[in-house]
Structure 1
Amino acid sequence: MSMFLYRLARFSYRRPWVFILTWLLIVGGVLGLAVASGAKISSAITIDGTQSQTVIDQLRTEFPETSGGQGTIVFTAAEGKRLDEGEAADVIRAAMKEISENEYVVAREAQALAAPPTQATAGQQAQQPALPQQSAEQSQMPSPIVAPSPEQQEKKMQEALLKQGMLAPGVLVSADGAVALMQIQFTEQVEDLPSGVIEDVVAIASDHADTAGLTALPTESLKPHEPPLGGHEALGLLVAGLVLFLTLGSLRVAGLPLVTGIIGVAVGLGGAFALSQSIELTSATPVLALMIGLAVGLDYALFIVNRQRHLILREGLSAEEAAGRAAGTAGSAVLFAGLIVIIALGGLTLIGISFLTTMALVAAATVFCAVLIALTLLPALLGLIGERILSTKARTRGQKRSYEQRHGFAHRYASTLVKGRWAVIIAVVAVLGVAAIPMTQMSLGMPNGATANLDTTERQAADAIAESFGDGYNAPLITVIHAPDGTSFKDSQLPGITSELEQSDTIETVRPMGISPDSSLALFSVIPTAGADDDATKTLVHTLREDTGTLTGISGTTIGVTGLTAINLDISEKLASVLPLYITIIVVLSLFVLLVVFRSVLIPIKATAGFLLTIGATFGIMTAIFQWGWLKEVVGFDTPGPILSFLPIMVTGILYGLAMDYEMFLVSSMREAHVHGCAGEQSVIHGFEQASRVVVAAAIITVSVFAGFIFSDDSMVKQFGLALAVGILIDAFLVRMTLVPALMSVLGKAAWWLPNWLDKLLPNLDIEGDRLLKHLHQNTNTKQQDEGRTHPNTTH
């Protein structure tokens, strides 16, 4: 492998414009396709096979008019004003009427006059005052029948609706008249609606509200579907650029990793957006690809450029030869480091969760682009710079330094770790163990309006709903009751089923929504007493699903539950259940790769054990910050809540891949020192000294990139940014740069132990470039011998 990469880099170095123009054509083509196809971003996160998704699929088939998405707009008035009278009531009714005229909105009129309202109408008639008793003669006289005018009919309907707590069909009003809920039923799922539909609906509500001095607050489900990207990422790039400059000592050279990193992300993200009409991209997918693509793209380019400069300074090689050897040695490590990241991400596809598969494949493709660019485009750019990669002064200074003069902080630090190895091991394990303690109380969930920041419309809407209606109105459950085989539902049964369900202490109210055309399904909106993240609501969902007729009063019925609350619950439980399987998959696959790379039994085990410490401490810190609220002002949120349900599984895969990157570069340097003659502790110290500076720089760059996303307004992006930044800080500085040298010194020669039978079976990938160096040495000797024959020395 090292020979192939050496020759590829030399070829690219000598013909730079071939590779530069090729990559520019690729970038232009991919971005052109992305613009032409139009990026489609979905906010929906679903998992096929869950009970909530099964119910949605069934409704699409048997009750299609109710299978679309739902949205809510909350109307509020100034203090002391009411929404159920006067101009305020009129504008809300007008807004609902205009919104209902949208072709993608289900009209509510028919539903309002169906079975449930008839009961209220009968009650209204019963409450009417009795008429005076008529004489027999008067009673025999025919009464003139006067048809009510449309205005009278509308007024009667409004009065009937107000008795049910409704301003208009689909619009609930609180008992104090301070808050109104406009519930909108769409013909399609919200993420499948054409562009502009949601914006039009929200604009209609806002325009009408403004005319009466009201406030219209769209809830979480009506947020625009846009990639949560802003200017915060630039902060991370600025820090990364500064670190590159300090590490490489030149603006010209520091710009190379930035250029290659940005091109890799452009290709990866552009390809994802170009395919977004065919694959479902969630809003988090492009952000994760951007995070990972920038991080590995900058790191991989840094490793190769730094190795080239090292070879020029220490061995006096030409820039071309140094570039080839850097690609053959550091480039080999880059290739297999990228392979480990791709394996870690690819393992997500084996779980069978569609949106995670898409996220993983897009991120893995971006990493693959970063590796290709580092091995092809980067040498071409180095070819353009040529010998200017280092100034004459820098070359002279570097070549004059003796080995003893290079023994700086890294040498002293590694020596200290080796001498106090047992104390270091105990201290690191203890610190990370304590940091992991909060993980035992980690709760998973999905973001919702109740946990959004106070200055957002979705949070203000959720607070208004909770205050005027109750927490449960922020967590409605769409409940589908299946009739026993051979039977069907009748309208007259709905009030009885409603009363039976409302007997539960965990149910606030139940509203019938209708019966399917074949009368086999009865649909209800169930409002729990508690909020979406409350354990009582989670228990209610399971109780409803497990019922076989007790709650409905009809033996043999079965209940399905869906809606955003149930969907989020199913996602969290499914992801929590597959996390152990996923960890097992990536650990087994990566152990095999590390076994082949390092040709050692103990090093892969040590590397994986260190990662488990990293992931435990990372999730413990995440729980303390986002769930307990520690340092929330610093991070930039005001309401603690559960950890994003798919964060643990994604962060585990990403961190494992990146952690093994640092393991690869650090331990491969130790192995290189061991292979080339350093014994015992000296191989650990010498290898650490050679790799520590670039590993530290790479870790700081990666942390900076991830930290730039912490200040995003999107809660998902914020959690991912912090988790990855904290994870890299812990793994790079506590585990790889502190714990690993101490453990390697304890293991000694046993660290490189490999049974002879296994040594024969495993392929020799030559990550350290030993074969490459032997080949170059032989060529040099042969060349010198040929020159000696052609120009023999003569003595007189």
Structure 2
Amino acid sequence: MSTALYRIGRWCAAHAWRVLAAWVAVLVAVGTLAGTVGTPLTNQVSIPGTEFERVVERLGTEIPSAAGGFGRVVVESDSGSFTDAQKQAITEAMDTWKTVPHVQRVVDPFAAQQQIDESAQKLADSQEQLADGRAQLESGTAQLADAKGQLAGGEAFLAQLEKTDPDGQATADLRAQVEDGQRQVAEGQQKLDDAREQLLAGEAQYADGKTVADASAGTRLVSEDGRYAVIQVQFDDNAQSIAPEDRALIPEKGDPILEAAGVTPSYSVEITQALEFIGPGEILGLAVALLVLVLVLGSLVAAGLPLLVALLGVGVGLGGAMAATAFIELNSTTPALALMLGLAVGIDYALFIVNRHRANILHGMPLRESVARSVATAGSAVTFAGATVVIALAALVLSGIPILAEMGLVAAVTVAVSVLVAVTVAPAVMRLMGTRIVSRRAWRKAGFATPADASSRPDTAADRPEEHGAWYVGAVTRRPWLTVLGVVALVGVMAVPALDMRLGLPDGGSEPTGSSAYTAYTAVADEFGPGMNGPVVAVAELPAVDGTRTDAQVLDAQASIASALRGVDGVVSVVPFGVSEDKETLAFQVVPSTGPADEGTPATIDGIRGVASLLERHDGVEIGLTGQTVANIEISDRLQGALPFYLTVVVGLSLLILMVVFRSVVVPLVATGGFLLSVVAAFGATVAVHQWGWLGDWFGVTQPGPILSFMPIILIGVLFGLAMDYQMFLVSGMHESRAHGEDARTAVRSGFVHGVKVVTAAAIIMTSVFLGFAFSHLVMVRPIGFGLAVGVLVDAFVVRMTLTPAVMHLLGERAWWMPRWLDRLLPDLDVEGVRLADHLAQEDARTTPAEAADAAEVREPVAPRA
């Protein structure tokens, strides 16, 4: 590997302008494609095969008008309760919103609330009518009984006359009267039976209506004090799939109308959610990274190189991802994750190469040779480290969850591009920068009278490699057992909150305090109940019947289902809101007593599913659940189920890769154990801040709740790759020192002091970038950024710089044990460049005097610039 990278570095340095031009052309090409054929991103999270998606598809087929997503606008009157003028302004705003693209309908809260309020009066009127009907039925029954008595008397008298005077006129007249009376009684009985049947039907319909009304009680769209109202804006598709610029038209058109009338609108997160990648937090993180680069590399010019490499790699990677949206749909979190990782690893990888180049030329190596050697040695480590990150991210495909596979692949491609840019652009730019990559002060400190001119540096004693942190590694290895116990105890305490980890997806309550989405969320929770922020949609499939169901049969089914669902603990109300054309599919809105992210909501959903199962067994009614709350729970369960398998794959991969690199069985076990410690510490810290709310004010956590469902599995994949970076750059130094004849314990200290400076800088840079994303305006990105920032800090400073030297010192030579048969089976990647050094030495030995002169000309230092 090192030999191939040496040739790449030498070629790129020799053709610097061509390399830069080629990458700029690639950047322009992907940028043009992204701007022309790219499609908008989405915030929708889709997992095929889940119940909530199947139910949504069925709802869209059977009741299309009920299938679109909703956004909410909470309006507040500045004058107490809404005035007629304010209601008129709200009506005008709603009419304007109906013209916005993809808006299917806008529900008038005042009209809807009036219908809800009038339904109680209608039920009361119906009850009075039923009472009147019962009284009339009882009166008719009494009258009919009297008529039947009179008829019986007439029939008895007729029977006597027919015996005494069967052919008399009186008998004939009485017979006619009796027959007429029988006909009247029969007609009266029929009318009475019809009235009784109508009364029974009316009573049944009243009972069903009252049942539905009772189940719906508690649902309001206008607050009881008349100050707040909730306007529901229904889209023709899932709200997260609507283009942000279309959703932005809702506040843009509504604010002027409403605010002029003294009405304050607040828009739910479905309407306000934006998709920009870069915010103030991310910019601050990059600023800190630049500051660290200046301190480490000693000049602003040198510090700009890693940033250039990172930005170029991210630009190409993200440009390609955005261009790919012409063929696939990308979630908004996907580019954000790729951006976060691309910036972090791009800066770090370029830093490793630049730092090695600076060290080489400060020790007298010719500039062009130093560029090639830096790419061969540090570039080998960068390639290996980047490969581990790419493999860990690409392995997210194994989760079987499309959005995770999408996020992993896009991020993996971006990291791979960052590695490629680092090993090609970095040597080209270093060649063009010449001696300016080192400050004049650093040249003088290294003994150079003329920068890069070895003849102006008579003192060769300064060729010793830089050493940092000798006191620290001495302290941690002086009492290694105490160090190990201290680290395990510290990480154990940090990991305790992870035992209480709950997974979910963010909602409006996770938005920054004072934002429109947060205000809308809290207003709905306070005035209409927390469950109104995440109602559940229940879709019932009724059993087949002969013919078409009557309206009364539909109402009876609605009443039966609504009553059953309303009886579930934790359900506030059940409102029927849709019937299919064939009257075989019914839709209900089920409002829980708890919010979408509340700890008790999953138990309510389980209770609803239990009742649905009973209805299916007893009545043949199939009920499916959907809605954002149900989707959050199902997605979290699926991701939690995929986590153990993915962790097993990553751990196994870790052991295999590290065995190949370090030619040891024990070192990989130590490295993987440390990686697991970093993971649980990151989990624990994220739970404490984002779920428990500790230090929430510092990190903008306005409403603690479940941890983002994707965070654990993404953090494991990303942190695995980054942990291997630090393991590589520190332990490879120990491995190299041991290969050069030092005993195992001495090699631990010498390898540490040679590599700790650049690893420290890299960890601080990466932490700064991730911490910037911990304050991102994208709610889904915040816990990922925070978890990665903590994970990198713990892994770099606690695990790699503290625990690993202590354990390696304890193990001594046993740390490098490996069976001979296994050593023969595993490939030798020559990450440290040992074979490259031998190869170059053999080439020098075979070089003729004429070739040596040519080589000297090629390797001649670049003349310093004024």
TM-score, normalised to structure 2, is 0.81
Question: Kindly tell me: are residues 333 and 126 of structure 1, through their superposed partners in 2, closer, same or farther at Cα, counting changes over 3 Å?
Answer: same
Alpha-carbon distance in 2 for matches of 1:441, 1:712: 25
What is the one-letter code of the residue matched to 1:734? V
- 1:42 touches 1:225 (CA, 8 Å); kept in 2? no
Equivalent residues in 2 for 1:405-554, closer than 5 Å: 409-484=468-543, 490-493=553-556, 494-548=558-612, 550=614
What is the one-letter code of the residue matched to 2:796? A
The structural deviation recorded for 1:551 is 5.7
What is the one-letter code of the residue matched to 1:483? L
- For the residue of structure 1 that corresponds to 2:664, the secondary structure is coil
Question: Kindly tell me: are residues 514 and 659 of structure 1, through their superposed partners in 2, closer, same or farther at Cα, counting changes over 3 Å?
Answer: same
The structural deviation recorded for 1:29 is 0.8
Partner residue, 1:140? none
- 1:174 touches 1:469 (CA, 8 Å); kept in 2? yes
The structural deviation recorded for 1:782 is 2.6
- Larger fraction in helix: 2
Alpha-carbon distance in 2 for matches of 1:787, 1:499: 94
- For the residue of structure 2 that corresponds to 1:508, the secondary structure is strand
The structural deviation recorded for 1:415 is 2.6
Partner residue, 2:84? 86
Equivalent residues in 2 for 1:562-581, closer than 5 Å: 562-581=626-645
Partner residue, 1:794? none
- 2:689 touches 2:701 (CA, 8 Å); kept in 1? no
Partner residue, 2:94? 96
* 1:737 and 2:788 correspond: no
What is the one-letter code of the residue matched to 1:614? S
Alpha-carbon distance in 1 for matches of 2:125, 2:827: 88
Deviations 1:684-734 (A, max 9, x none): 111111111111111111112122223333333332222111111111011
- 2:509 touches 2:521 (CA, 8 Å); kept in 1? yes
Alpha-carbon distance in 2 for matches of 1:426, 1:406: 32
Partner residue, 2:391? 343
Alpha-carbon distance in 1 for matches of 2:601, 2:524: 17
- 1:659 touches 1:728 (CA, 8 Å); kept in 2? yes
Q: 2:833 aligns with which of 760, 763, 769?
A: 769
* 1:712 and 2:776 correspond: yes
Equivalent residues in 2 for 1:391-402, closer than 5 Å: 392-396=443-447, 400=459, 402=461
The structural deviation recorded for 1:171 is 8.6
Partner residue, 2:160? none
- 2:510 touches 2:701 (CA, 8 Å); kept in 1? no
Question: Kindly tell me: are residues 194 and 248 of structure 1, through their superposed partners in 2, closer, same or farther at Cα, counting changes over 3 Å?
Answer: closer
Partner residue, 1:678? 742
- For the residue of structure 2 that corresponds to 1:715, the secondary structure is coil
Partner residue, 1:242? 291
Alpha-carbon distance in 2 for matches of 1:480, 1:344: 40
What is the one-letter code of the residue matched to 2:102? Y
Partner residue, 1:60? 60
Deviations 1:414-451 (A, max 9, x none): 23322221111111111111111111112222211234
What is the one-letter code of the residue matched to 2:479? G
Partner residue, 1:19? 19
CA RMSD in angstroms comes to 3.1
What is the one-letter code of the residue matched to 1:708? G
What is the one-letter code of the residue matched to 2:57? D
Alpha-carbon distance in 1 for matches of 2:674, 2:478: 20
- For the residue of structure 2 that corresponds to 1:641, the secondary structure is coil
Alpha-carbon distance in 1 for matches of 2:244, 2:613: 43
Question: Kindly tell me: are residues 426 and 15 of structure 1, through their superposed partners in 2, closer, same or farther at Cα, counting changes over 3 Å?
Answer: same
- 1:596 touches 1:765 (CA, 8 Å); kept in 2? yes
Equivalent residues in 2 for 1:56-205, closer than 5 Å: 56-78=56-78, 81-83=80-82, 86-100=84-98, 104-107=102-105, 122-123=122-123, 126=126, 172-194=221-243, 196-205=245-254
Alpha-carbon distance in 2 for matches of 1:468, 1:56: 29
Alpha-carbon distance in 2 for matches of 1:430, 1:112: 59
Question: Kindly tell me: are residues 173 and 700 of structure 1, through their superposed partners in 2, closer, same or farther at Cα, counting changes over 3 Å?
Answer: same
Deviations 1:128-153 (A, max 9, x none): 9999xxxxxxxxxxxxxxxxxxxxxx
Alpha-carbon distance in 1 for matches of 2:426, 2:298: 18
Deviations 1:335-382 (A, max 9, x none): 110000001111111112111112111111111011101111111111
Partner residue, 2:334? 285
Partner residue, 2:265? 216
- For the residue of structure 1 that corresponds to 2:774, the secondary structure is coil
What is the one-letter code of the residue matched to 2:13? Y
What is the one-letter code of the residue matched to 1:607? A
Larger Rg: 2
What is the one-letter code of the residue matched to 2:43? S
Question: Kindly tell me: are residues 119 and 82 of structure 1, through their superposed partners in 2, closer, same or farther at Cα, counting changes over 3 Å?
Answer: closer
Question: Kindly tell me: are residues 16 and 459 of structure 1, through their superposed partners in 2, closer, same or farther at Cα, counting changes over 3 Å?
Answer: same
What is the one-letter code of the residue matched to 2:752? F
TM-score, normalised to structure 1, is 0.88
Question: Kindly tell me: are residues 548 and 109 of structure 1, through their superposed partners in 2, closer, same or farther at Cα, counting changes over 3 Å?
Answer: closer
The structural deviation recorded for 1:752 is 1.7
* 1:555 and 2:619 correspond: yes
Partner residue, 2:159? none
Alpha-carbon distance in 1 for matches of 2:617, 2:51: 23
Question: Kindly tell me: are residues 501 and 94 of structure 1, through their superposed partners in 2, closer, same or farther at Cα, counting changes over 3 Å?
Answer: farther
- 2:75 touches 2:228 (CA, 8 Å); kept in 1? yes
Question: Kindly tell me: are residues 405 and 204 of structure 1, through their superposed partners in 2, closer, same or farther at Cα, counting changes over 3 Å?
Answer: closer
- 1:220 touches 1:458 (CA, 8 Å); kept in 2? yes
Paired residue total: 751
Partner residue, 1:324? 372
Question: Kindly tell me: are residues 221 and 500 of structure 1, through their superposed partners in 2, closer, same or farther at Cα, counting changes over 3 Å?
Answer: same
What is the one-letter code of the residue matched to 2:472? Y
Q: Which moved more, 1:182-191 or 1:389-398?
A: 389-398
- 1:545 touches 1:558 (CA, 8 Å); kept in 2? no
Deviations 1:58-110 (A, max 9, x none): 2233333322211111111136x323x63333333444344345563334799
Alpha-carbon distance in 2 for matches of 1:671, 1:221: 54
Q: Which ranges in structure 2 are unaligned for 5 or more consecutive residues?
A: 133-211, 449-456, 853-866
Alpha-carbon distance in 1 for matches of 2:738, 2:430: 30
Alpha-carbon distance in 1 for matches of 2:36, 2:3: 41
- For the residue of structure 1 that corresponds to 2:68, the secondary structure is coil
- 1:256 touches 1:301 (CA, 8 Å); kept in 2? yes
What is the one-letter code of the residue matched to 1:82? S
- For the residue of structure 2 that corresponds to 1:173, the secondary structure is coil
Partner residue, 1:157? none
Question: Kindly tell me: are residues 23 and 500 of structure 1, through their superposed partners in 2, closer, same or farther at Cα, counting changes over 3 Å?
Answer: same
* 1:364 and 2:412 correspond: yes
Alpha-carbon distance in 2 for matches of 1:346, 1:638: 33
- 1:611 touches 1:731 (CA, 8 Å); kept in 2? yes
Q: Which moved more, 1:658-667 or 1:235-244?
A: 235-244
* 1:659 and 2:723 correspond: yes
What is the one-letter code of the residue matched to 1:396? G
- 2:74 touches 2:524 (CA, 8 Å); kept in 1? yes
Partner residue, 1:158? none
- 2:542 touches 2:620 (CA, 8 Å); kept in 1? yes
Identity, % of aligned pairs? 41
Deviations 1:637-693 (A, max 9, x none): 333222212111111111111111010111111111112222221211111111111
Alpha-carbon distance in 2 for matches of 1:389, 1:88: 66
Alpha-carbon distance in 2 for matches of 1:459, 1:109: 21
Question: Kindly tell me: are residues 204 and 611 of structure 1, through their superposed partners in 2, closer, same or farther at Cα, counting changes over 3 Å?
Answer: same
Alpha-carbon distance in 1 for matches of 2:237, 2:431: 55
What is the one-letter code of the residue matched to 1:292? L
- 1:77 touches 1:178 (CA, 8 Å); kept in 2? yes
